[in-house]
Structure 1
Amino acid sequence: MKTKIIFFLAIIVLVVGGDWYYLSHKNKNKTTEDIKIKIGYLPVANALPLYLAIDKGYFSEVGLKVEPIKFESPNQIVDALIAGNIEFSSPSTGMGVTAVSQAKNPNTLKVFALNGGAGPNNIDNVFLIKKDSVISSVNDLKGKKVGIIPGIQWKILAQHIFDTEGLAVDKDVTIVELALPMQLQALAMGQIDALLTLEPTKVIGESQDAVRDLVVGPMMKYIADPWWGGGGVVSVEFAINNRETTKKVIAVFDRSIKEITADPDSSRQYLKNYTPLTEEQTKLVPLPIFKMYTDFQDSDMAALQKFFDIFAQYKVIDNKVDARQLIYSD
């Protein structure tokens, strides 16, 4: 009898032990599976850190599968982040739209990288006219139509520029929202008289001998210098629930930005798979400055704050947004 009891106890130990071994190894294997992340971007030069990281396999190296999701306006990216349709955005996300979101939906998004312009070699924002246009100044746009990137950020930027020059939107100047692929065509066909937008639009237009500058670096002139117009953004809910994955994604962006900063000429080639640029055109695109949150200086925060304050000035939001409260921290 005692022998039978010992035999049955041994079987139970084996069964329970086998189940524990299976479940523990199953869970262990589960943690090492590839994790799929959706990252939104605009098809502009500002999203280069994402392009480079995907094409060089940096996300795959840390066990992440990334699906890049293309959008046509900054508003669409922020809406997708808030809705949980994407988890991250490349540094091409509008900082103005992000600030508006912070005012209306506090603590839902955090900024882990910035990009923008400063100085003559890092101008990502452009104010263009047709090459044969008789327009020579912003004041000459009275009674004209100006194309912009869709969304509240570019509406307010345009309004501020025209107000500074003594022109009233709707009364003196008509603003036309145009998706990026349609902008140069609209300018060429005379549907608009000028275009306030981002690179690589200027490089493509110049390669067609179709455009010239009306204002060089309009955002640095009228808004803030340095101009931090775009940034990389993460959903706070995702970051809280997926801390290790979030750290991995941000580390990849950090690696990519360091590489672009160290060797911008070699990095430009990764634009061609995600923008309308040809291989030759990629060599001509002026790249913006990219910065990770660990490198932000007081001067950067002051410039970003100056930009954010414009949205309160134009009553888009009720109160000013503190730029520092939007910055990601580990």
Structure 2
Amino acid sequence: MIRKSKIFFLLGVLFLGVIMLVTGCDNKKEQAKPLKIGVLPVEDSLPFYVAQEKGYFTEENVKVELVPFQSALERDSAFQTGAIDGEITDLIAAVLLKNAGVDHQIVTTTLGIKPGEGRFAILAAPGSGINKAEQLKGVEIGVSQNSIIEYVTDQLLQEQGFEPDEIKKIVVPKIPVRMEMLFKNQIKAATLPDPLATYAESKGAKVILDNSKEDISQVVLIFHTEALKSRSKEVTGTLQAYARAVKEIDANAESYRALFTEKAGVPEEIKDTYRIPHFSLPETPTQAQFDRAINWMLDKGLLKKALSYNDMVSGGFIGK
């Protein structure tokens, strides 16, 4: 009996050892799995690339993989299928994803905390004769439909006292095509984001209105809710690394001009003169910013009912 007991004891110890070994391997694999964040070749990606270049992610004990996409559609598709854990997007797109059933939350605004961050401009075509806002009444403005571009266009014009029936738009989804049509006077006006708005201005287009004096548009960082639950420390570490990168850019912006030009798609003609944008430290969108976007989407019929701020925004990962 004693001999049998020893055998069972040794078998039990061996079994426990195997379980611990397998569990340990699984944990190491989970820890080694990078947090994948989708980015576009636009200016709001710069702090993430600086954090990567400076080793801030590693120093904050988080492994981050920046996954580049050439279009918002490709990025959002990857997010919907779970191929990436998070993405940099705009507030309108984030709400549309949530409304489509993609469970996620906003953890910080990346551009648009202060006026002038993430500039959009309504520009008149060279030679169009349009020099002031009131001349845009009834003029078709090139935009992408149901987007941050259309949202900003409506907000800027409404602030000038335009009635809904005085705002006319023509849908030109691809920004390069929209800009080319503007240059050729095929459309009288268009709304463009920086740096392309600045580039268009250098080519003779005239800025009629922009959001440089008001924080109309917000670019945000979102993560799947499951990732926020299971990988909360990594998300917190990501935001801490991001904050360090923002401070570094603020102190040494010109040192990152080459990186910025490469990653933000700055046109060659303005790469040496285009102003690197200001980035603010992590901060969630305000209730007022959120409500403004939601109300526009309700008016447009993009939402059947308002989404909850607390459902969509989580500030608990900033400065934990």
What is the TM-score when the length of structure 1 is the normalising length?
0.75
Q: 1:95 aligns with which of 91, 97, 102?
A: 91
Amino acid at match of 1:176: V
Superposed CA offset, 1:115-156 (max 9, x none): 21645x546222222344311133323554322245433334
Q: Which residue of 2 aligns with 1:292?
A: 282
C-alpha displacement at 1:213, in angstroms? 0.9
Q: Which amino acid aligns with 2:182?
A: L
**CA displacement at 1:201 relative to structure 2:** 0.7
Check conservation: 2:155, 2:216, Cα contact below 8 A: no
Go from structure 1 to structure 2 and tell me whether the alpha carbon gap of 1:13 and 1:291 turns closer, same or farther (over 3 Å shift). Answer: closer
CA distance in 2, matches of 1:303, 1:69: 28
2:226 corresponds to 1:237: yes
Cα gap change, 1:174/1:9 in structure 2, threshold over 3 Å: closer, same or farther?
closer
Alignment length (residue pairs): 311
Task: Classify 1:18/1:190 alpha carbon distance in 2 versus 1 (closer, same or farther; 3 Å).
Answer: same
Please give the residue correspondences for 1:1-330 in structure 2 after superposition, counting only pairs within 5 Å: 19=18, 23=22, 26-27=25-26, 29-33=28-32, 35-61=33-59, 62=61, 64-73=63-72, 77-90=75-88, 93-105=89-101, 108-114=103-109, 115-116=111-112, 118-119=114-115, 122=117, 124-142=119-137, 144-149=139-144, 151-162=146-157, 164-166=161-163, 168=165, 173-207=168-202, 209-217=203-211, 225-277=214-266, 278=268, 281=271, 283-293=273-283, 296=284, 300-328=286-314, 329-330=316-317
* Equivalent-residue separation in structure 1 for 2:23 and 2:225 (angstroms): 30
CA–CA distance in structure 2, aligned partners of residues 32 and 105 of structure 1: 28
Q: Is the 8 A contact 1:124 1:288 kept in 2?
A: no
Tell whether the 8 Å contact from 2:46 to 2:264 is kept in structure 1 after alignment: no
2-structure distance, mates of 1:6, 1:101: 60
Cα distance between partner residues in 1 of 2:71 and 2:8:
66
CA deviation map 1:148-194 (0-9, x unaligned): 2454333344345456423637xx62322332333432221233222
Question: More strand per residue: 1 or 2?
Answer: 1
Whichever residue aligns with residue 222 of structure 2, its letter is V
RMSD: 3.7
- The secondary structure found in structure 1 opposite 2:112 is strand
The Cα offsets for residues 222-251 of structure 1, whole Å up to 9 and x where unpaired, read as xxx333421111111222233333333333
Paired letter, 1:44:
V
Provide closer, same or farther for how the CA distance between residues 18 and 111 of structure 1 changes in structure 2, counting only shifts above 3 A.
Answer: closer
CA contact 2:45–2:263 (8 Å) conserved in 1: no
Amino acid at match of 1:276: G
